[in-house]
Chains A and B, each alone.
Chain A
Amino acid sequence: MTTTTELVAYEEALATYDPVMGLEVHVELGTRTKMFCGCSTELGAEPNSQTCPTCLGLPGALPVVNEIGIESAIKIGLALNCEIAEWCRFARKNYFYPDMPKNFQTSQYDEPIAFNGYLDVQLEDGEIFRVQIERAHMEEDTGKSLHVGGATGRIHGASHSLLDYNRAGIPLIEIVTKPIEGAGERAPEVAKAYVAELRELIKALDVSEARMDKGQMRCDVNLSLRPYGREMFGTRSETKNVNSLRSVERAARFEIQRHAAVLNSGGTILQETRHFHEEDGSTTSGRIKDNAEDYRYFPEPDLVPVAPARAWVEELRGGLPELPRLRRNRLREDWGVTEDVMQTILNAGAVDPIVATIAEGADAASARKWWMGELARNANETGRALDELPVTPAQVARIAALVAAGDLNDKLAKQVIEGVLAGEGTPDEIVEKRGLKVVSDDGALGAAVDEAIAGNAAIADKIRGGKVAAVGALVGAVMKTTRGQADAARVKELILERLGVEG
């Protein structure tokens, strides 16, 4: 999609206008079943194979709330420092859309389960920015439509659509910030950091995998500009369903530049939804939000109120994991790495694998080395996340242990990893099968050493003459003949011994 939107340079926009943002994040919970029925939420099933009278909205069917849905909402609320409602209800949000089977969304309206919280996020320079949370509420997802007959599956120009309701009714938690003010030029960075922190938090709570690329977490970026010093907010645009951290930042940045252009030319911002385009980072106009839009919310009569017992809430509070930001800082100190390195580890999704590998007995440096080195490279090449690789932290720890014991060197260890990833077995099995053990036995090495000395007489003489540094060339020759399996340190010792030189 090409866009012809005029933009104002970012710095110029910020010189005149103060951006105000609102972020709405939808998280699909990782429950086994849907929010209001017992249908499976497993991804990848055949179309319409995970539907029942309730999630298809058949006449007569009724909803029953999933208790893990409620529990997850409370956990998220607590982790976001929210108050948890003593009593709240579901409401019906009424509007017609073919992907919504009942033509109302069962959601929460003026009585969210969690409200008035905050999340502290750390910006790249280490500064902490507090994002105020308005509410976190429970709702349900819609079905999926496939548009047929138009170009590239888009809705425009399609002759008809095909609906699959497997996703209809999957629990969603919608987390809404209060207006984020005072971020200034860092607004896009704050948006990204907030969504990143929220994602880590959701994962730490183990309530969702929060994979943005799989649509398990989606962000709407609301943005408006106002002249500095003015209290009233400008008209906002809502950029819907932004699906990666980078896109969140880009969408905010683009909208700041676009709004500034419109305002500078004396135009008015339309209150509308906008679509974000990954290809060029632009947004385009969606639906105008006219004031006639009236969702006619009312309390859902088919569900009874939710009144979480305080004891339950406190029990859940007691079970909350360490906040990701604090945990990250702790780990950074434990591992003795810089902020930058930590950020790289985080971006690679390596924090949890490294922690798990250390828990399996590896030291921090080697755990980090393997996950951020060989394994990260493989994940990158094969388009997988680290935790999707067919290797366990225990296996990585075993490899590290073999290296530490001198049974493997780095080169051999890489081959073992390759074997594990290829499904050849456990590290020990691969060492055995591929015969990869380091050879440090003097008898076995002696012949190779003698051969190297004989074949490189000139170098041997230099060493005898005191140029000990030249020993590397002989060691290299031994490694070559032993196909890398020799214990390099022992080889060096043996060469010097034979040449009668002190190491």
Chain B
Amino acid sequence: MPGITREEVAHLARLARLELKAEELDHFAGQLDDILGAVARVSEVADQDVPPTSHPLPLTNVMRKDEVRPSLTPEQALSGAPAQEQQRFKVPQILGED
């Protein structure tokens, strides 16, 4: 299994929306490489014919009736907002798609 490079860490940080500083990149790259080196052992079972477990319990079909439940009031919904305007969450300009 290949190790993790500083460039990869930078790319992952962008994907995860973390504005890492240069020294953090160095620091994390080393640590993550160690951790990955240790946990990469799991790929020993990659070829084994066992089903993956995504849920620890064998539950299926948990559903609710299509019945309206009380919502929060707009005041409650917006109570934690860093900024608000016109009863909406005010956020900096959004880049990207229309």
B92 contact set on A, CB distance < 8 A? 160-161
B89 to A, closest residue via Cβ? A163
Q: Which of A154, A161, A298, A299 contacts B91 (CB 8 A)?
A: A161
- Give the distance to chain A from B76, nearest Cβ to Cβ, in Å: 9
Q: Which of B17, B71, B90 contacts A160 (CB 8 A)?
A: B90
Question: In the bound complex, how far is the Cα of B91 from the Cα of A303, in angstroms?
Answer: 30
Interface residue? B1 (CB, 8 A): no
Report whether B63 and A70 are in contact in the complex, using a CB–CB cutoff of 8 Å: yes
A305 to B, closest residue via Cβ? B60
Report whether A48 and B63 are in contact in the complex, using a CB–CB cutoff of 8 Å: no
**Chain-A contact segment, one of B20-28, B32-40, B80-88:** B80-88
Report whether B64 and A65 are in contact in the complex, using a CB–CB cutoff of 8 Å: yes
B92 to A, closest residue via Cβ? A160
Contact with A along B30-71 (1 / 0, CB 8 A): 000000000000000000000000110101111111111111
A304 contact set on B, CB distance < 8 A? 55, 57, 59-62
B63 contact set on A, CB distance < 8 A? 64-67, 70
Question: A53-B72, A304-B60 in contact; A161/B93 too (CB < 8 A)?
Answer: yes
- Give the distance to chain A from B58, nearest Cβ to Cβ, in Å: 9
Q: Which of A38, A164, A273 contacts B64 (CB 8 A)?
A: A38
Question: A33-B69, A38-B67, A301-B55 in contact; A48/B96 too (CB < 8 A)?
Answer: no
Q: Which of B64, B90, B97 contacts A66 (CB 8 A)?
A: B64
Question: In the bound complex, how far is the Cα of B61 from the Cα of A191, in angstroms?
Answer: 36
- Give the distance to chain A from B98, nearest Cβ to Cβ, in Å: 5
Question: In the bound complex, how far is the Cα of B65 from the Cα of A32, in angstroms?
Answer: 10
Question: In the bound complex, how far is the Cα of B18 from the Cα of A127, in angstroms?
Answer: 55
A305 contact set on B, CB distance < 8 A? 55, 59-61
Q: Which of A32, A50, A96, A240 contacts B71 (CB 8 A)?
A: A50
B60 contact set on A, CB distance < 8 A? 87, 304-307
Interface residue? B4 (CB, 8 A): no
Question: A155-B97, A287-B97, A294-B15 in contact; A165/B77 too (CB < 8 A)?
Answer: yes
Report whether A299 and B54 are in contact in the complex, using a CB–CB cutoff of 8 Å: yes
Report whether A49 and B62 are in contact in the complex, using a CB–CB cutoff of 8 Å: no
**Chain-B contact segment, one of A39-47, A180-188, A331-339:** A39-47
Instruction: Name A34-63 residues within 8 Å CB distance of B.
Output: 37-40, 46-53, 56, 58
A32 contact set on B, CB distance < 8 A? 66-68
Interface residue? A97 (CB, 8 A): yes
Question: In the bound complex, how far is the Cα of B93 from the Cα of A120, in angstroms?
Answer: 44
Question: In the bound complex, how far is the Cα of B73 from the Cα of A39, in angstroms?
Answer: 11
Interface residue? A236 (CB, 8 A): no
Interface residue? A2 (CB, 8 A): no
B78 contact set on A, CB distance < 8 A? 48
Question: In the bound complex, how far is the Cα of B69 from the Cα of A53, in angstroms?
Answer: 12
Interface residue? A89 (CB, 8 A): yes
Report whether B69 and A97 are in contact in the complex, using a CB–CB cutoff of 8 Å: no
Report whether B67 and A155 are in contact in the complex, using a CB–CB cutoff of 8 Å: no
Q: Which of A65, A68, A89 contacts B62 (CB 8 A)?
A: A65
B94 contact set on A, CB distance < 8 A? 97-98, 145, 147, 155, 158, 161
B98 contact set on A, CB distance < 8 A? 154-156, 275, 286
A31 contact set on B, CB distance < 8 A? 66
Interface residue? A292 (CB, 8 A): yes
Q: Which of A39, A48, A273 contacts B97 (CB 8 A)?
A: A273
Question: In the bound complex, how far is the Cα of B55 from the Cα of A306, in angstroms?
Answer: 13
Report whether B71 and A39 are in contact in the complex, using a CB–CB cutoff of 8 Å: yes
Q: Which of A56, A89, A156 contacts B77 (CB 8 A)?
A: A56
Question: In the bound complex, how far is the Cα of B82 from the Cα of A436, in angstroms?
Answer: 65
Question: A160-B91, A287-B97 in contact; A38/B85 too (CB < 8 A)?
Answer: no
Question: In the bound complex, how far is the Cα of B54 from the Cα of A301, in angstroms?
Answer: 7
Question: In the bound complex, how far is the Cα of B76 from the Cα of A165, in angstroms?
Answer: 13
Contact with B along A137-170 (1 / 0, CB 8 A): 0000000011111000011101111111100000
Q: A38-B68, A40-B68, A49-B71 are in contact. List 14 more A-B contacts (CB 8 A).
A: A33-B67, A46-B87, A48-B88, A48-B89, A49-B74, A89-B54, A160-B91, A162-B88, A162-B91, A275-B98, A286-B97, A294-B15, A301-B55, A304-B57
Q: List 23 A-B contacts (CB under 8 A).
A: A32-B66, A32-B67, A38-B69, A48-B77, A50-B71, A52-B69, A52-B71, A52-B72, A56-B72, A64-B63, A89-B54, A96-B17, A97-B96, A145-B94, A146-B86, A161-B90, A163-B89, A163-B91, A165-B77, A240-B97, A298-B54, A299-B55, A304-B59
